[in-house]
Amino acid sequence: MNPSLQAVRGMNDILPDEAAFWELFEDTIRSWLKSYGYRPIRMPIVEPTPLFKRAIGEVTDIVEKEMYSFIDGLNGEALTLRPEGTAGCVRAVIEHNLAARQTQRLYYIGQMFRHERPQKGRYRQFHQVGVESFGMVGPDIDAEMILMGARLWNDLGLDGIDLQLNSLGQPEERAQHRAALITYFEENAELLDEEAKRRLHTNPLRILDTKNPAMQDLCAAAPKLIDYLGAESLAHFEGVQRVLRDAGIPFKINPRLVRGLDYYNLTVFEWVTDKLGAQGTVCAGGRYDGLVEQLGGKPTPACGFAMGIERLIALIKDAGGEPAAPAPDVYLVHQGEAASRSAFLVAEGLRDQGVDVLLHCGGGGFKSQMKKADSSGAGFAVIIGDDEAATGEAQLKVLRGEGIEQRKLKVDDLAEAIIGQIIDSDEEE
């Protein structure tokens, strides 16, 4: 294939076998979210570029080097493919006044885009489940969001996902810590890498988020934000931990957990596994009380998290999770002109009664159609020739499981026979 016509690097097709995992995952996700009272919201994939700069922060990996930004050639607008969902969700909440008189619990599932180096668990188009709440000051909602994660890993049959927790305090507290950090890093200037030097005066907290192994010791010994938190911030943090302890959810406080986005305050958390190599964070989030106001809304406390679907699906596969092979109940075989006309009506009639039908299309003889029926995985073949069509009948052949192997039935009796037999064989299992 001409390379210029192939998929963009780091943006993957999800083929049917793989997509079956995704659908199963999404079913689990939706019922899990419903059980916590979350409602869906769907935002555009493209948003104005200034929205992300404002929300995520100018001096962050995402805004500095990962965004797919472009100018709309038709009207000159600066646009960006969303690199995350919170900014767009907050924009929508403000624009439609969703949080004015009530609290909101919202979720979305969809594509995100970041220009990163593609590798296992890291892609340029990837998918997130995003969960956001508005109007609740916490720490109860923060804690509930963390409990949600624990329940989901259980629902998905995953273990070995560990919880890391930190508090980023409030902006004033961070300012004091920031000053101390700058002093500390200035005193150790010879140990800083290029990126750290560049960020020293713009966003020193982000230096702690470095993935450079040579900087780990330096960062581990840096002044800790927790030592700068006031009584209220500490009480909030303690409140979150109390719920987790009551619920028996183990956690580790990681003072270096700062998150790659600027909008967080107070609670931040990550769920991390060591089963995915370097890309171990499957879920991350926290509180972002300042963001709604920062984007032009009325001050509204908020909290949220996002999960990377690719990483979770990889874990599910690792754990041996297998979606049920999607097979139709019936493969409908037909040959002859009258038979083909009847086949459409029979297929629609069966579907009316809840039977899944794969209608053979594309012609061919009985023998080749029966082969396709077999490999389709269907439980039954319904076979119509011109003889059957003339008398309003069809042959019902059992392809899988027990039962009378083949018999002729009135087409009106097909559905009942099929459903009856499906129920019988379910009971035997």
Residue numbers at the binding site for ligand ATP (CB under 6 A): 84, 114, 116, 121-123, 126, 128, 260, 279, 281-284, 306, 308, 310-311
Which helix (H) or strand (E) element contains residue 390? Answer: helix 386-391
Asked if 134 and 156 touch (Cβ cutoff 8 Å), the reply is no
Q: Which is nearer to ligand ATP, 177 or 259 (CB)?
A: 259
User: With respect to ligand ATP, which residue has the nearer C-beta, 93 or 282?
Assistant: 282
Kindly tell me which of 307 and 347 has the beta carbon lying closer to ligand ATP: 307
Tell me whether strands 302-308 and 357-359 are parallel, antiparallel or unpaired: unpaired
Shortest distance, CB of residue 24 to ligand ATP, whole angstroms? 19
CA distance 142 to 347: 51
- CB of residue 311 to ligand ATP, shortest distance in Å: 5
Nearer to ligand ATP, 62 or 378 (CB): 62
CB of residue 307 to ligand ATP, shortest distance in Å: 6
410: three-class secondary structure by DSSP: strand
Report the chain's terminal Cα–Cα distance, integer Å.
47
Q: Which residues contact 105 (CB under 8 A, 6 or more apart)?
A: 36, 37, 38, 39, 131, 132, 133
Q: Which residue is nearest to ligand ATP (CB)?
A: 308
Q: How far apart are CA 189 and CA 192, in angstroms?
A: 5
Which CB, 84 or 289, lies closer to ligand ATP? 84
| C-beta closer to ligand ATP: residue 291 or 418 | 291
135 or 149: whose CB is closer to ligand ATP? 149
Residues 289, 262, 113, 104, Cα dihedral to 10°? 0
CA distances from 301 to 182, 249, 254 (A): 29, 25, 24
Least separation in angstroms between residue 18's CB and ligand ATP is 15
Separation CA 361–CA 332 (nearest Å): 9
Q: Which is nearer to ligand ATP, 279 or 395 (CB)?
A: 279
Q: Cβ closer to ligand ATP: 283 or 303?
A: 283
Contact 70/2 with Cβ under 8 angstroms? no
The least distance separating ligand ATP from the CB of residue 124, rounded to whole angstroms, comes to 7
Category of 162 on φ-ψ map: left (φ > 0), alpha (ψ -120 to 50) or beta: beta
Whole-number Å distance between alpha carbons of 187 and 200: 12
263, 53 in Cβ contact below 8 A? no
How far is the C-alpha of 373 from the C-alpha of 317, rounded, in Å?
29
Q: How far is the CB of 153 from ligand ATP (least distance, A)?
A: 13
Q: Which residues have a Cβ under 8 Å from the Cβ of 298 and sit 6 or more positions away?
A: 100, 292
CB of 180 to ligand ATP, least distance (A): 24
Smallest distance, ligand ATP to C-beta of residue 184, A:
23
In the complex, least distance from residue 306 CB atom to ligand ATP, rounded to whole angstroms: 4
Residues 6+ apart with CB under 8 A from 13: 7
| Closer by beta carbon to ligand ATP, 113 or else 380 | 113
Cβ 274 to ligand ATP, closest distance in Å?
Answer: 14
